[in-house]
Amino acid sequence: MPVPDDGLDQVLLHYTEHNPSGRSTVVLIHGACTSGLNWDLVVPHLADSYHLLVPDLPGHGLSRNVTPFSAEYSSRLLERLIRKHAHGGKAHIIGHSLGANVAVEFITSHPEVVNTAFVSGFAKYPRTNFASFLPYGFWAENRITKLVPSALIKWLMDGTDLGHSGPCSIELCRQVVPPMIETTWPSPWPARTLIVAAGKSGILPSSDRLEDARKLMDIGREKNVETIAVTHPLMRHPWNRQAPLLFAQTARAWFEGEQIPSGFEDL
């Protein structure tokens, strides 16, 4: 998808800011068909010590008029956000779900503004004859989940909600699917990166793609041997909402070079 060139300096992603006096900056990148609001359970556990920038990606939330969405365009705008507003023009990066794919594109394309990275739920689906139907399946899933009572979803998902999902048009679904299709894999990047794949499934398929996490780790370790991939057998895909304190503790430990919490298994 072409990346808009005209007037990039005038384009701004909507973002919220927390604790501007924090010692270093963390950027939280949300998943598809939601917005920065989806980090509301995690933010309180990080904002006590970090300066947080929480953007809405192009086509999402209050950045819905910044179009079209692509991982490359998102990366260019995130780089501008960090240079203008992050402490020292650099940040730790957190990405979840589609946000993990965007984060990997970002840390590969703009390593000079990245401290460390933490991605969860990264996926690259095989390119098959059915790939062209994925946007429609994604759209249908988005609509169907809105019809299911939230109490039932929480019961099926160990008390986890699905977050703040907004309307997801067919056009937006067409735009968010390509970064998750296995056309090309990223090039190696230098940032020390923690890659997490949620391990628990169940009646609702909610585990992540462990094989993709392993492959991504192998690529990342080409330039930084400290990059690792782990899974947690009790965490579901939206574990930033299932266990927001654990999510924040894991991020904090990784950023500070400490041991991540117990319960994770190496991949």
- What pLDDT sits at residue 261? 98
Q: Is residue 125 part of a domain?
A: yes
**C-alpha to C-alpha distance for 245 and 43, rounded to whole angstroms:** 9
How many distinct structural domains can be found in the chain?
A: 1
CATH number at residue 125: 3.40.50.1820
In which domain, by residue range, is 62 found? Answer: 15-266
- What pLDDT sits at residue 143? 64
- Tokens coding 144: 């169907």
Residue 51 burial class via C-beta count within 10 angstroms: exposed 0-12, middle 13-18, buried 19 and up: buried
What does pTM read for this prediction? 0.91
Q: Is residue 10 part of a domain?
A: no
Give the three-state DSSP class for 238.
coil
Q: Is residue 6 part of a domain?
A: no
Q: Is residue 27 part of a domain?
A: yes
pLDDT tens for the chain, 267 residues: list them: 545 544 555 678 999 999 999 999 999 999 999 999 999 999 999 999 999 999 999 999 999 999 999 999 999 999 999 999 999 999 999 999 999 999 999 999 999 999 999 999 999 988 766 667 677 676 677 766 666 677 777 767 777 877 777 778 889 988 998 888 878 899 999 999 999 999 998 777 788 999 999 999 999 999 999 999 999 999 999 999 999 999 999 999 999 999 999 999 999
- Tokens coding 111: 């390593």
**C-alpha to C-alpha distance for 32 and 100, rounded to whole angstroms:** 10
**C-alpha to C-alpha distance for 54 and 201, rounded to whole angstroms:** 28
Q: Is residue 2 part of a domain?
A: no
The bridge status of strand 25-29 relative to strand 51-55 is parallel
Q: Is residue 8 part of a domain?
A: no
CA dihedral 184, 72, 88, 257 (to 10 degrees): -30
Compute the residue count for the chain: 267
Q: Is residue 4 part of a domain?
A: no
